[in-house]
Amino acid sequence: MQGDTDVTSDANAPWLIVGLGNPGPEYAANRHNVGFMVADLLAERTGGKFKRAGKAQAQVVEGRMGAPGPASRRIVLVKPTSYMNLSGGPVNALRDFYKVPLANVLAVHDELDIDYGTLRLKLGGGDNGHNGLKSMTKAMGAEYHRVRFGIGRPPGRMQVADFVLKDFSSTERKELAFLVDRAADAVECLVAEGLERAQSAYNS
């Protein structure tokens, strides 16, 4: 399908913006849940509230992004409720339901190999051991956009699984709201102005 690789092939196609994380209050402040944090902020900006997506294991908000008028883009914000390593099934079901080209899918996720707070935007690529991305790629292919939110590597001999499932440190939390806000800005820029412009503005 042509739209699967060409973001500009259908200007009317919606965007599926997926915040990756784990459901439940015990995970809410974890590093692994920064995708949920960004999705929550984007929902707040659109004035929407997450609700269950029918039979899909996900919560969604439908809305629009960008300046009012022809440039405004239809969006569906998604928070899978299937746990991280099973995110692909719900996301792909919603992609089919809303008829979203693969290149109009955008995943917001934590990234170990980037310093804390640094953003990197890209299209396609590997999963770098991230179980949410691994599940999404298995379900629908790799050519979707990513907004990668750096969380850095675990200190000392701490295991990666333990590190990502811990809350941000007190030092990190001092900047977290600002950094989540910036990541939400990056998502809006990518949707409104394209990957190259967003990379120029937000990749660091």
> Catalytic positions, please?
32
Number of C-beta neighbours around residue 53 at 10 A: 22
Question: Using CB atoms within 10 A of its CB, is residue 69 exposed (0-12), middle (13-18) or buried (19+)?
Answer: exposed
DSSP codes, 169-187: PHHHHHHHHHHHHHHHHHH
- Alpha carbon distance 149, 112 (integer Å): 9
DSSP state of 84: G
- Alpha carbon distance 44, 185 (integer Å): 13
Task: Give the CA angle between residues 124, 200, 151 to the nearest 5°.
Answer: 65
- Alpha carbon distance 96, 1 (integer Å): 13
The helix (run of H) or strand (run of E) holding residue 51 is: strand 51-52
- Alpha carbon distance 191, 65 (integer Å): 8
